[in-house]
């Protein structure tokens, strides 16, 4: 099933995403101009819009390329596992410029397809958190009265809240406090 016409230049996608990444590192999200990306990649602006229908989707593709597999093997210590998972999510969020996260959030709210991409990006990790919580409940390490999905929200939601709304720092101590507040005090 070979397509008919002129084939797409295989190098374009990589060159454009590289150029977009370089632009973002150099100037931040706002200043990513599709015109400049096109120029840097040696490609016409229209070619970019033929592949990615908006700047937001272009940036999404750029981010998605970064996402490596996140290895995680659950131990039998939910406290440790949760701390590790939440720390990983926090680290990923903090590694990106805040304005980028905020702009992607806005783009996700505006365009459902971007929203899907963003959610897909996190799905794996959030599922892992949910699984650890459910396991902790069946093991009796966590009171069973709460909906695991709510607990996930209470562990992950505050990260976004601090990052996007209050601007307060997200440090290891904060992550520990979150897990602490969720699981109750350490019992040694």
Partner DNA sequence: TCCTTTTCGCTACTCCAGTCGCGTAAATCG
Partner DNA sequence: CGATTTACGCGACTGGAGTAGCGAAAAGGA
The footprint of DNA (CB under 7 A) covers 2-9, 12, 31-36, 42-47, 49-51, 53-56
* Smallest distance from a copy of itself to CB 75, Å: 23
Token pair 């410029």 is found at: 97
| DSSP reduced 3-state for 152 | helix
CA distance 93 to 164: 10
**Complex with DNA: residue 45 or 65, whichever CB lies closer:** 45
Shortest distance, CB of residue 27 to a copy of itself, whole angstroms? 13
Q: How far is the CB of 160 from DNA (least distance, A)?
A: 23
Task: Establish if 162 lies at the interface with a copy of itself (CB under 8 A).
Answer: yes
- CB-wise, 12 or 102, nearer to a copy of itself? 102
Contact assessment for residue 185 and residue 165, using Cβ atoms and an 8 Å cutoff? no
For residue 23, the minimal CB distance to DNA (Å) is 9
Q: How far is the CB of 156 from a copy of itself (least distance, A)?
A: 6
Alpha-carbon span 185 to 49, nearest angstrom: 53
CB atoms within 10 A of CB 94: 15
The correct pick among 53, 147, 169, 172 for binding a copy of itself (CB under 8 A) is 147
| Cβ burial 39-57 (10 Å sphere, 16+ → b, else e) | ebbebeeeebeeebeebbb
Rule CB under 8 A: say whether 110 interacts with a copy of itself. Answer: yes
Q: Which two tokens stand for residue 10?
A: 């295989």
Complex with a copy of itself: residue 11 or 184, whichever CB lies closer: 184
CB 89 within 8 A of CB 54: no
Contact at 8 Å (CB) between 78 and 155? no
Residues forming the site for a copy of itself (CB under 8 A):
30, 98-99, 101-103, 105-106, 108-110, 115, 118-119, 122, 143, 145-147, 150-151, 153-154, 156-162, 164-167, 174, 177-178, 180-182, 184-185
């Amino acid at each position: 099933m070979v397509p008919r016409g002129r084939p797409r230049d295989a190098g374009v996608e990589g060159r454009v995403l590289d150029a977009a990444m370089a632009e973002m590192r150099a100037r931040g999200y706002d200043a990513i101009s599709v015109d400049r990306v096109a120029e840097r990649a040696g490609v016409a602006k229209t070619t970019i819009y033929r592949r990615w229908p908006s700047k937001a989707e272009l940036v999404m593709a750029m981010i998605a390329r970064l996402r490596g597999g996140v290895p995680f093997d659950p131990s039998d210590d939910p406290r440790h596992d949760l701390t590790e998972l939440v720390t990983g999510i926090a680290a990923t969020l903090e590694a990106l410029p805040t304005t980028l996260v905020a702009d992607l959030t806005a783009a996700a709210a505006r365009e459902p397809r971007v929203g899907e991409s963003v959610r897909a990006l996190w799905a794996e990790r959030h599922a892992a958190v949910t699984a650890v919580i459910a396991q902790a409940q069946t093991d009796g390490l966590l009171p069973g009265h709460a909906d695991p999905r709510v607990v996930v929200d209470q562990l992950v939601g505050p990260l976004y809240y601090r990052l996007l709304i209050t601007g307060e720092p997200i440090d290891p101590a904060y992550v520990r406090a979150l897990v602490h507040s969720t699981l109750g005090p350490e019992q040694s």
